[in-house]
Amino acid sequence: MQNKISALLGFSRKSGALKLGTEATCESVLRRRAKLVLLANDISPKSVKEIRFICDKNNIKAEILPMTIEEISAAIGRRAGILALEDEGFASAILKNI
């Protein structure tokens, strides 16, 4: 399961459909481009609360991945714990594997 999610994250990063970090994710959500927001399972509760608030306000689904920041970083090639997927296909594929 985690290998599939890692592969999908890598593919979405290469295709340009993945935004990394809090600022880029919030911008994607506010511009209504984000289809799904993903959070590492080891980010701070304060960050989770802030991101979920923004997502709920804009009707965007936010999910906690069964992966740490380090595992996500290994999959996408950059350090990040908060991600926004801007492609419906990748978003639904990752939701099926969570």
29-81 residue pLDDT tens: 999 999 999 999 999 999 999 999 999 999 999 999 999 999 999 999 999 99
**2 pLDDT more than 80:** no
- Please choose, from the candidates 81, 77, 84, 70, the residue with its C-alpha nearest in 3D space to the C-alpha of residue 7: 77
Domain architecture of the chain: domains with CATH = 2-83 (3.30.1330.30)
Averaged pLDDT for residues 16-23:
94
42 HSE (CA, 13 A, CB side): 8
pTM for the full predicted model: 0.91
Which tokens is 72 given? 């996500």
b/e string for 72-81 if b means 16 or more Cβ within 10 A?
bbebbeeebb
Q: What is the mean pLDDT of residues 92-96?
A: 92
